């Protein structure tokens, strides 16, 4: 065993010396390789964390949302629909939701205005999310102006600000009383934005959805499962950011392919020829090349993953921020929770380290099986 | 001088990285534990306010409420406006819509 370890160490010594002889090329290769692993791992960490957090948080979303559609568009729903739905067997409760969007020309941002079901938001008061507080510099006790549907200015006092920790769901929220909501947007009291529904037995959800669709054909139904699936599928590999990142990976791959597919350089061939001539076995040469691949790819993998972790979970994905913010004025400041597991990293390892190491060995094996005399000429 | 061998330096480098890897997993596990209460708080807010979506992209209604988007949202601004918000290139349409729209694609 000791002899075997000593042999590996000798070969690693030789491999490292050989790599250092072509320092510039190998350092560049390691840098590009590390960067590719860093990008891929950052995307993987970020997406997985968001998906996981969304799946936990949105488990508490309404079991079913019922919206009225007119001419293919979402319209306000009459409160009379609630009585019809309540009569369906298996429905435990139907609640109205009153919410909408408000464009604030002062900062050019859209707010989500919502009337909470059970809350102490009284007429004349509002509770705002952290994003709005930051953008409007509005704090407890300040008043905010809103322009109503008939052009009147309504002054509402900021009673409270939602917690910093809840920004991922509440950054752009304005919680408002029903009276103020109606004053702001107009409309009849007999209409609400949509309805939410709870059932006695969750297994009956799809049957109840079919019954509602038959009873009220002008409605569309959004199940909680669909909401959860949306957030599971929403960050998929078709996204623009993924393409940009894959372009980087592609570029690195081209460099890699150019380096490897063109086979070994004349110098490397000569080196293999000399090693063979002084008594190295083909297996020794292959072992040397295996360690060469491992040194480059394993170093890049380890550093790339560590940098990606720091980037996503300590620096809040600073590199992705411009793309994630998009054109939004209000953007939640949140640090993703590090939901990482070994299987993610194992996948990345097999996608990055193994192909490189294998690709390093094959041309060397071909060169090592040729007669040393012809290789050195 | 056995200690100055390049292989030793390489193994030292690997060992440092592996320790950092272990620390990374330990940090992740610690953070998950500490975030449990905060995630629960967010879940309670979702339940109390009957929220359906995460506040990730606030620039348009269909990016703010991804699960509530309808088939027409992509065309709502002008006939040639398939999509112009950067976040629209980050996220795909809800799977439910894709199912309905499958025959047209």
CA separation for the pair B51, A178 (Å, rounded): 17
Flag if B68 and A67 touch (Cβ within 8 Å): yes
Give the per-residue pLDDT at A377.
Answer: 67
CA separation for the pair A313, A309 (Å, rounded): 6
Considering CB atoms only, which of B52, B57, B71 is closest to A227? B52
CA A11 to chain centre: 42
The tokens describing A325, both together, are 């913010």
CA separation for the pair A343, A347 (Å, rounded): 6
Beta bridge partners, A160, equal: A127
Distances (CA, A) of A321 to A239, A324, A332, A339: 15, 5, 11, 19
Give the per-residue pLDDT at B105.
Answer: 42
Give the per-residue pLDDT at A254.
Answer: 64
Distances (CA, A) of A137 to A107, A203, A330: 11, 47, 12
CB A255 within 8 A of CB A356: no
> pLDDT digits over A49-80, tens only?
888 888 899 988 999 999 998 887 788 999 99
> A67 and chain B: CB distance < 8 Å anywhere?
yes
Residue among A120, A327, A339, A341 with most chain B CBs within 10 A, to mutate? A327
- What one-character DSSP code corresponds to residue A93? E
User: Which residues of chain B are within 8 Å of residue A238 when distances are taken between CB atoms?
Assistant: 92
> A238 and chain B: CB distance < 8 Å anywhere?
yes
Q: Where are the domains of chain B?
A: 9-49, 70-101
Q: Does the ipTM exceed 0.85?
A: no
Asked whether the predicted pLDDT for residue B57 surpasses 50, the reply is: yes
CB A174 within 8 A of CB A103: no
Cα-Cα end-to-end distance for chain A? 38
pLDDT tens, N- to C-terminus, chain A (377 residues) = 788 888 888 888 988 888 888 888 888 888 888 888 898 888 888 888 888 888 899 988 999 999 998 887 788 999 999 999 998 988 999 999 999 999 988 888 889 999 998 767 888 899 999 999 999 999 999 999 999 999 999 999 999 999 888 888 899 999 999 999 999 998 888 999 999 998 988 888 889 999 999 999 999 898 888 888 878 776 665 445 666 666 776 676 667 656 664 567 777 778 888 888 888 888 888 888 888 888 888 999 999 999 999 999 999 888 877 777 777 778 888 788 999 888 888 988 888 788 777 777 777 777 777 777 776 66
Flag if B39 and A57 touch (Cβ within 8 Å): yes
Which of A292, A295, A275 has its CA nearest to residue A284? A275
Give the per-residue pLDDT at B70.
Answer: 65
Which of A25, A78, A100, A30 has its CA nearest to residue A353? A30
Considering CB atoms only, which of B27, B64, B90 is closest to A338? B27
> pLDDT digits over A278-313, tens only?
888 888 888 888 888 888 889 999 999 999 999 999
> B104 and chain A: CB distance < 8 Å anywhere?
no
- Secondary structure (3-state) at A227: helix
Give the per-residue pLDDT at A283.
Answer: 85
Give the per-residue pLDDT at B27.
Answer: 95
Give the per-residue pLDDT at A250.
Answer: 65
Considering CB atoms only, which of A9, A169, A340 is closest to B28? A340
CA separation for the pair A86, A206 (Å, rounded): 16
CB A327 within 8 A of CB B59: yes
Cα-Cα end-to-end distance for chain B? 69
CB B69 within 8 A of CB B94: yes
Cβ neighbours, 10 Å, residue A28? 12
Considering CB atoms only, which of B42, B71, B90 is closest to A168? B42
User: Which residues of chain A are within 8 Å of residue B96 when distances are taken between CB atoms?
Assistant: 222, 226, 229-230
CB A116 within 8 A of CB B48: yes
The tokens describing A238, both together, are 């078709």
Q: Where are the domains of chain A?
A: 2-58+236-376, 63-233
Longest dimension (CA), chain B: 75
Percent of chain B exceeding pLDDT 70 equals: 63
């Amino acid at each position: 065993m000791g002899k075997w370890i000593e042999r590996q160490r000798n070969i690693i010594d030789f491999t490292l010396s050989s790599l250092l002889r072509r320092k510039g090329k190998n350092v560049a290769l390691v840098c590009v390789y590390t960067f590719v692993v860093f990008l891929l791992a950052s995307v993987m960490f970020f997406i997985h964390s968001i998906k996981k957090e969304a799946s936990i948080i949105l488990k508490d979303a309404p079991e079913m949302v019922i919206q009225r559609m007119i001419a293919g568009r979402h319209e306000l729903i009459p409160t009379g629909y609630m009585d019809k739905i309540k009569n369906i067997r298996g429905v435990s409760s139907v609640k109205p939701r009153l919410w909408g969007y408000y464009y604030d020309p002062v900062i050019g941002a859209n707010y989500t205005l919502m009337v909470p079901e059970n809350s102490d938001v009284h007429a004349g008061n509002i509770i705002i999310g952290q994003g709005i507080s930051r953008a409007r510099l509005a704090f407890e006790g300040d008043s905010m102006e809103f322009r109503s549907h008939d052009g009147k200015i309504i002054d509402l006092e900021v009673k409270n600000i939602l917690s910093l920790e809840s920004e991922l769901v509440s950054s752009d929220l304005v919680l408002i009383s029903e009276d103020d909501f109606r004053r702001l947007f107009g409309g009849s009291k007999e209409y609400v934005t949509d309805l939410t529904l709870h059932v006695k037995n969750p297994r009956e959800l799809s049957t109840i959805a079919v019954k509602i669709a038959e009873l009220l054909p002008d409605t569309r139904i959004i199940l909680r499962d669909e909401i959860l699936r949306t957030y599971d599928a929403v960050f998929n590999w078709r996204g623009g950011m993924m393409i940009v990142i894959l372009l980087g990976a592609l570029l690195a791959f081209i460099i890699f392919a150019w380096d490897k597919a063109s086979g070994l350089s004349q110098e490397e061939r000569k080196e293999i020829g000399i090693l063979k001539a002084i008594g190295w076995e083909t297996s020794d040469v292959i072992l040397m090349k295996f360690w060469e691949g491992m040194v480059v790819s394993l170093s890049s993998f380890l550093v790339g993953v560590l940098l990606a972790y720091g980037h996503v979970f300590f620096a809040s994905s600073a590199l992705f921020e411009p793309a994630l913010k998009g054109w939004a004025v209000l953007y939640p400041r949140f640090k993703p929770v590090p939901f990482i597991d070994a299987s993610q990293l194992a996948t990345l390892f097999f996608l990055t380290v193994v192909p490189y190491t294998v690709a390093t060995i094959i041309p060397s094996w071909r060169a090592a099986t040729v007669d040393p005399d012809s290789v050195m000429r | 001088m056995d200690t100055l061998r390049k292989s030793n330096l390489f193994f030292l480098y690997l060992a440092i990285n592996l320790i950092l890897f272990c620390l990374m997993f330990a940090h992740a596990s610690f953070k998950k534990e500490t975030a449990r209460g905060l995630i629960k708080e967010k879940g309670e807010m979702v339940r109390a306010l009957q929220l359906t979506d995460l506040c990730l992209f606030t620039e348009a209604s269909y990016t703010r409420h991804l699960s509530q988007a309808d088939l027409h949202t992509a065309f709502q601004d002008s006939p040639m406006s398939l999509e112009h918000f950067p976040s629209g290139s980050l996220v795909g349409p809800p799977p439910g819509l894709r199912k309905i729209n499958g025959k047209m694609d």
